[in-house]
Structure 1
């Protein structure tokens, strides 16, 4: 298994600084966050989802993307993936992202999946997402880059089994699943090896972060109120020794990408701590 970093987790570093830090930590690849920084966030402190200095703006030119590809390659790193925030049905944005991924030399790209808030029935969301994924599969085949559905809370793919239901009609050479145990703390938990065995050839990528539930007061009826939140890798509910054991059992050989939101470490320290944490358990 190889190690990568999803740059959403390193918002204070520039791409050049990130590439240097990843090399120093002994990582193998980079997953670039593909999203613009809002104009009104430019003067804010660096943050994961607003002033993230380690993001690729979708408006970058081909020349700028090729320079960024060289930044990564010159440090001996692979562009493991491109991570946009695509919406189901927006094929124009999807093709733009696939094109950017091809210029960066990426192997994978995260595609869209419908969110779920109870306002629209699941069957309709499922049909719309499956139709979109079949169209995304055409793009993936054209560009030679695999599209990924991420297991994520508050979507119709919170678990391995629901993600599998979405992708099972697609060719696993072109559409796969980004398996994220940390997201499954919020919702979607299933035994790790069971989910991985179900995914089979669709298991294409893994993100590493952790979370935990804490009691936060009482509901109106007096019962305990619990909320999930991000936590350091060593302190959350996910046992990553068990996750890694399950990945070995299914002969997974892809990337493990750090996406830590705990704020425990400064970005450079995070990459080194992540590499040590995983290698101690492999």
Structure 2
């Protein structure tokens, strides 16, 4: 397996600074975050993230993206895009950029729950994804769908329904360990077997559920929080055991949104831990 970091989780540094730290620590690659974002007084994961490349003007930024990655001796494990699957013009641009960078895979975003009737959202997303698959084939890259809580594809079971029948060379699934703590958890090995050739990429982070006090009816209320890899509720060692049993030997991208440790130490300790549990 090869290990990379998604730059949503490195908001304090510019792309060049991020790449330099990852190279120094021994990471194999980087998964670039690409989106137009809101400004913020201080860098944050979702606003003011300094390691994000804007979608606006992306084409002119591609030489710099390639240079920063190449000079650090890293590979691009994928493009973490935020274009909805229905936003065809933006998806087309991102597919072309992915091909230019040699990044191989582009994440496309699935509809969120609550934005319509589930069956209607699912049917429309399937139609859009079929179009995306055709365009991905033209560009020679793969569009990937992330298992994500509070979307129409929170689980492997939902994702296989969405992608089944489309070419796995053009469409795949990102299995995300931490997101599944919040919603969609299934037996790891069974999920990998369910996805089969559609298992295209792996994201690793961790989370916990914490009691936040009683509700008005007196029952306990719970809230999810991101946690360090070793401290969350997901069984990271068991996850890698299942990946090995399935024969997965692709990219593993870390996106640790916990803040217990300073960023540089967090990354260094995560890499050492992942190398140990994946061996």
Gaps of 5+ in 2: none
Which secondary structure state, in structure 1, belongs to the residue aligned with residue 48 of structure 2? coil
State the 1:35 CA deviation: 1.1
Deviations 1:68-88 (A, max 9, x none): 202101222111111111113
Tell me whether 1:174 sits opposite 2:170 in the alignment.
yes
Q: Which residue of 2 aligns with 1:256?
A: 252
Which secondary structure state, in structure 1, belongs to the residue aligned with residue 212 of structure 2? strand
Alignment counterpart, residue 191 of structure 1, candidates 187, 191, 204: 187
CA distance in 2, matches of 1:61, 1:258: 24
Q: Which residue of 2 aligns with 1:160?
A: 156
1:151/1:179 contact within 8 Å kept:
yes
Tell me whether 1:111 sits opposite 2:115 in the alignment.
no
CA distance in 2, matches of 1:262, 1:61: 29
Q: Which residue of 2 aligns with 1:78?
A: 75
CA distance in 2, matches of 1:156, 1:24: 39
Alignment counterpart, residue 206 of structure 1, candidates 202, 205, 214: 202
Q: Which residue of 1 aligns with 2:265?
A: 269
Which secondary structure state, in structure 1, belongs to the residue aligned with residue 131 of structure 2? helix
2:105/2:141 contact within 8 Å kept:
yes
For 1:32-51, list aligned pairs within 5 A: 32-38=32-38, 40-41=39-40, 44-51=41-48
2:208/2:226 contact within 8 Å kept:
yes
Which secondary structure state, in structure 1, belongs to the residue aligned with residue 106 of structure 2? strand
Alignment length, in residue pairs? 278
Q: Which residue of 2 aligns with 1:236?
A: 232
CA distance in 2, matches of 1:114, 1:61: 24
Alignment counterpart, residue 135 of structure 1, candidates 131, 134, 139: 131
Tell me whether 1:218 sits opposite 2:233 in the alignment.
no
2:85/2:132 contact within 8 Å kept:
no
CA distance in 2, matches of 1:174, 1:133: 10
CA distance in 2, matches of 1:169, 1:122: 20
Which secondary structure state, in structure 1, belongs to the residue aligned with residue 166 of structure 2? coil
Which secondary structure state, in structure 1, belongs to the residue aligned with residue 174 of structure 2? strand
Alignment counterpart, residue 86 of structure 2, candidates 70, 85, 89: 89
Gaps of 5+ in 1: none
CA distance in 2, matches of 1:226, 1:252: 34
CA distance in 2, matches of 1:55, 1:104: 16
Tell me whether 1:66 sits opposite 2:63 in the alignment.
yes
Deviations 1:182-212 (A, max 9, x none): 0011110101111011001111111111001
Q: Which residue of 2 aligns with 1:100?
A: 97
State the 1:61 CA deviation: 5.2
CA distance in 2, matches of 1:201, 1:131: 21
CA distance in 1, matches of 2:123, 2:90: 20
Tell me whether 1:124 sits opposite 2:113 in the alignment.
no
